[in-house]
Amino acid sequence: MAPKEKAVKEKGKGMLNLKVPKGTKDWEGKDMIIRDKIFGTITDVFKRHGAVTIDTPVFELREVLTGKYGEDSKLIYDLADQGGEICSLRYDLTVPFARWLAMNPSIQSIKRYHIAKVYRRDQPAMTKGRMREFYQCDFDIAGVYDPMLPDAEILRITTEILDGLNLGTYTIKINHRQILDGLFQICGVPTDKIRTISSAVDKLDKSPWEEVRKEMVDEKGLDPAVADKIGEYVLKKGGRNLLVELLKDETLTSNESFAAGLKDMGLLFDYLEIFNVMPKLSFDLSLARGLDYYTGIIYEVVTEASAPPAKGHKSKKPVKAVDPNDPDADRSNDDSIGVGSIAAGGRYDELVGMFANSAKGQVPCVGISFGVDRIFSITKAKMLAEVRANEVDVFVMAFGGKGFTGLVKERMEVCRMLWDAGVKAEFSYKVKPKLPQQFAAADKNGVPFAIVLGEDEMKEGKVKIKEMGLPEGHPDKNGVDVELVNLVHEIKKRIATKKELESDKVSVLADDVAKVVLDGEKPTAV
């Protein structure tokens, strides 16, 4: 999505090209409605699992951020010195959380969530949710607990959120840093190259093994024989069956790090069976996660939209040539790029200790981060119904014949009653509005109900509730008269019934989409 541009004349400086910076966008209208619904779904799940929220500054001291992100450190936005402190925009919400824990040593355990913007100077692909300014929704559990119990709950939270967002088919890819480190030790990777080789292996989700091997050998100086040994293992993926296979390999289990990672994974799988997460899981030895702070379980969530299009796919849109070496180029039409993972995380037991001044500050943590903008790009593309421009449930309107006063005070009074009862309502700001204009305003925003006031009816203490969009011949097509004193009760009951019916309809449609994807069945007519 190209940012809107406008040339304007700035006083004394000629023409100014008005636009937002590359990799950013303005949010408005229905996009905001979709994004807010995503936030609401995610926050409800976080609170269901007992989390409290915090907030941290949008920029940190540069020394807080450096050395935590491996090769991705080059994507950190540095700020100019504005008062003696060298600062950078936050790259994620995890390192600021670890810094916060270290500054508050009295807090030894917490379930925390944080929804805020982060910044990365990466090549943008705007329509695929790959941006330079974007929201993350993080959930973390900090504290000393028995192994794999918090980790299991994090993954259960992940499934609750993704199922609640109706994103369709998704997979949680999972691995363990100790398994990877042990594997690299067994294959002969020098200790000082383990993290850079991990970063190369992590690219196997979008690059063939031949290209990854070439990077390891030609760019990172790994012995070709060592690379070939790695290739024997990192392409393996599965579920508990892969765990059983690896446990039988004595060469692998003789390595202390590898064996410890397998033990954690076996216990985690037992817990995930109880939480009904295993059907969504893929134990994938190629998953490495490039960030340096991970120490244990690591995972990321992918959907069908995460990967680049299959080879041979041709975009229907005209593709503008993009220089892959231009860090500012928008690669939205680059078919080699997909949406990418929509959530990722893992265990980071040593990050807080990097900032702490005492042993008390060694607080182990595990968490996950959801990329809202990537989820948004998928949600918008899979919309099952038209998104309303606002969430108003009732439009209060009036009509009358010759000498019509407009009933503006009466409309205001009815709106006040509805607002006091928590009902979302609005009315026309004209004193004497025409009825067709009032209906047009309600239709424009998809308001489901109208409350119509007439002068004669108001004298009798009655109003009319009209459900919008009913077909001809429906018994309630022209509305239903109700006593004004019963209005709040009646309208709340009708709103609740309509929302329940719409929810059932969306659930049926979502199930049908899954059937089409998984089984090739035809959707049910609704």
135 is in an annotated binding site: no
CB contact set of 237 (below 8 Å; sequence gap of 6+): 173, 282, 283, 284, 285, 286
Q: What Cα–Cα distance (Å) separates residue 111 from each residue in 40, 129, 140, 296?
A: 18, 28, 6, 19
Q: How many residues can be counted in the chain? A: 526
Q: Is 456 annotated as a binding residue?
A: no
Question: Can you say how many angstroms the Cα of residue 112 is from the centroid of all Cα atoms in its chain?
Answer: 17
CB neighbours of residue 404 within 10 Å = 15
Task: Confirm or deny that 294 is annotated as ligand binding.
Answer: yes
The pairing of strands 449-454 and 462-467 is antiparallel
* Residue 92 annotated in ligand binding: yes
Q: Rounded distance, CA 198 to CA 192, Å? A: 11
Residue 140 counted as an annotated binding residue? yes
**Residue 293 annotated as lining a ligand binding site:** yes
Angle between helices 256-274 and 240-247 (to 10 degrees): 150
Tokens of 80: 């100019």
Q: Which residues make Cβ contacts (< 8 Å) with residue 99, sequence separation at least 6?
A: 56, 60, 64, 355
Query: Do the annotations mark residue 93 as ligand-binding?
Result: yes
Contact residues for 390 (Cβ-Cβ < 8 A; gap 6+): 33, 445
Residue 450 DSSP label: E
Contact predicate 295/347, CB 8 Å: yes
Q: Within the chain, what is the greatest distance between any pair of CA atoms? A: 94
Consult the annotation and say whether 195 binds a ligand.
no
| Beta-carbon contacts of residue 422 (< 8 Å; ≥ 6 apart) | none
Nearest-angstrom CA–CA distance, 113 and 431: 47
Q: Which two tokens stand for residue 317?
A: 């849109």
Q: Which two tokens stand for residue 234?
A: 């990192």
Q: Which of 270, 343, 260 is nearest to 297 (CA)?
A: 260
DSSP string, 389-449: SS---EEEEEE-STT----HHHHHHHHHHHHHTT--EEE-S-SS--HHHHHHHHHHTT--E
CA distance 368 to 235: 24
- Is 132 annotated as contributing to ligand binding? no
Question: Cα–Cα distances in Å, from 220 out to 68, 181, 197, 286, 293?
Answer: 20, 17, 8, 18, 21
Report the DSSP pairing between strands 237-238 and 133-142. Answer: unpaired
Cα–Cα distance between 142 and 337 in angstroms, integer?
34
List the binding residues for L-histidine. Answer: 92-94, 120, 136, 140, 289, 293-294
List the binding residues. Answer: 92-94, 120, 136, 140, 289, 293-294
